[in-house]
Amino acid sequence: GDSVTQMEGPVTLSEEAFLTINCTYTATGYPSLFWYVQYPGEGLQLLLKATKADDKGSNKGFEATYRKETTSFHLEKGSVQVSDSAVYFCALSSPWDTGRRALTFGSGTRLQVQP
């Protein structure tokens, strides 16, 4: 079945450091890929997405590129802020003809940014 694997956290960085959170996936066909963010006490919010190979999703300084050859969708940001401290989830949406309608999520990576 489909699966998403994320690097374990927590990831602790100083403000203005470069961020990479790794995500790899296993899926049938060509899924869409997403990054969600969860701030303390809140639900999940969509951060960015990519629907086909080589697409780059971007939002709020975060970027991720859909790499079909390496089945990866790593999240990057050039300069993190304290306000970026949250849990980040990588997810995939299975192709419509697989019959699976819900997103498959990774286990989440906690990011802590220190001033």
Partner 1 sequence: ETGVTQTPRHLVMGMTNKKSLKCEQHLGHNAMYWYKQSAKKPLELMFVYNFKEQTENNSVPSRFSPECPNSSHLFLHLHTLQPEDSALYLCASSETGANTEAFFGQGTRLTVV
Per the CB < 8 A criterion, the answer to whether 23 and 106 are in contact is: yes
Token duo for residue 104: 């498959």
How far, in Å, are 34, 38, 94 from residue 71 at the CA level? Answer: 13, 24, 14
Is there binding between residue 34 and partner 1 (CB under 8 A)?
Answer: yes
Per the CB < 8 A criterion, the answer to whether 42 and 36 are in contact is: no
Is there binding between residue 46 and partner 1 (CB under 8 A)?
Answer: yes
* Selected binder of partner 1 within 11, 71, 103, 112 (CB under 8 A): 103
* Selected binder of partner 1 within 32, 64, 66, 113 (CB under 8 A): 32
Least spacing, CB of residue 53 vs partner 1, in Å = 13
Stretch binding partner 1 (CB under 8 A), from 14-22, 34-42, 63-71, 72-80: 34-42
Number of residues that bind partner 1 (CB under 8 A): 22
d(CA 8, CA 82): 20
Q: What's the distance, CA 53 to chain centroid?
A: 15
Which residues lie near partner 1 (CB under 8 A)? 32, 34, 36, 41-46, 49, 51, 89, 93, 95-96, 101-103, 105-108
